[in-house]
Amino acid sequence: MRGYVLRLIGGLFAFVAAIYAMNWAVDPFGYNGTRLVDYDRRLVSYELGRNAYKISGFRQWQGDTAFFGDSTVNMIDPEKVAPELTGDIYNFGVGGQTLFDTIDAVRHAVAVKPLRRVYIGVPFRHFDDRSNTRVFAENAEAIRSPLRANLALKTTEASLAGIGHMTGLARKTPRDPEAVASDRDMRIRLSGMRNKYVARAAPDTLIPAFEALLCDLNDAGIEVTLFTPPASPEARAEALVHAEGYQRFKEWVTGLGRHIDYDTGETLSADPGNFYDHNHLKPRAGRALLIDILRDTPELGRVSEGTLRCPD
């Protein structure tokens, strides 16, 4: 009996060690920085673990300027639209994030690295307490140490997907995130859920949480720029049906400090051809947006300089 137990323990130890070694070597999210095997990690791993992919990439990145937000921010990732800026800027945008997730992502990032500049995408559709899921914090906790990261089920799944992709054994090639985003929004429209802006004017919990974040960033001496990403003419028409909530959002976000509004019905948001769907920019428009945000004097958006009131 004792011998059986020892063999069982030994077998379990060997299995766990093998999982750890595989995940460390394949490094599907780039957490370890090992790069022993070369394949398109973004294509394979992003949809399997979006937050893990972004957190891991940030861990290895060296720089002082980062972008935060949801998929509309992820679509202007320098890696995709401006490769020459990849080393200077980190895009922490994650598809499906709520503004509460963005708050958690920013707090995580500034605790890990001494950032100097932060850009935060703040779209109207997240101006709602009901968009209150906080998946980012859960995912960050799951990979908060090398041991956890290399033994996580999600990491193992992504490693196996990476091996399948490299060897050609995978049943299908993972799709590009832009195609996934576009298909998702098309399904929303076809299911009759076109109006995503109903009752977007009750962010009683969101407002103080977001303002507290901005006050903490100001206290830390971090330069903050907020921006509202462009929305297509179709999306703006839907938003303006709820004009009171939309106006409340604009008054709030423009009063928080430096803000660039690209959701104006002009420039980028005037041309439906700039969008995959009603929110996600195509690469050329995404590049134009990214370059403009980084200008001292943006040309494509309306700049406001509000005054945030922070407690003494």
Please write the tens of the pLDDT for every residue from 242-262.
778 888 899 999 999 999 999
Q: How many other C-beta atoms lie within 10 A of the C-beta of residue 168? A: 7
pTM score, whole prediction: 0.86
Quote the pLDDT of residue 170.
65
The residue with greater pLDDT, 132 or 226, is 226
Query: Of 125, 258, 119, 104, whose CA–CA distance to 203 is shortest?
Result: 125
The residue with greater pLDDT, 136 or 303, is 303
The total number of residues shown for the chain amounts to 312
Please write the tens of the pLDDT for every residue from 137-190.
888 887 888 898 898 888 999 889 888 888 877 655 545 444 445 454 444 443
Cα distance between residue 124 and residue 140, in whole Å: 26
The neighbouring-strand residues paired with 66 are 90, 118
Quote the pLDDT of residue 241.
80
DSSP class of residue 254 equals T
Q: At residue 191, does pLDDT exceed 50?
A: no
Quote the pLDDT of residue 40.
84
Over range 229-247, report the average pLDDT: 86
pLDDT band for position 195 (cuts 50, 70, 90): very low
Quote the pLDDT of residue 49.
86
Residues 135 and 101 sit within 8 Å (Cβ to Cβ): yes
The residue with greater pLDDT, 243 or 62, is 62
Taken in order of first residue, the domains within the chain and their CATH numbers are 60-143+175-305 (3.40.50.1110)
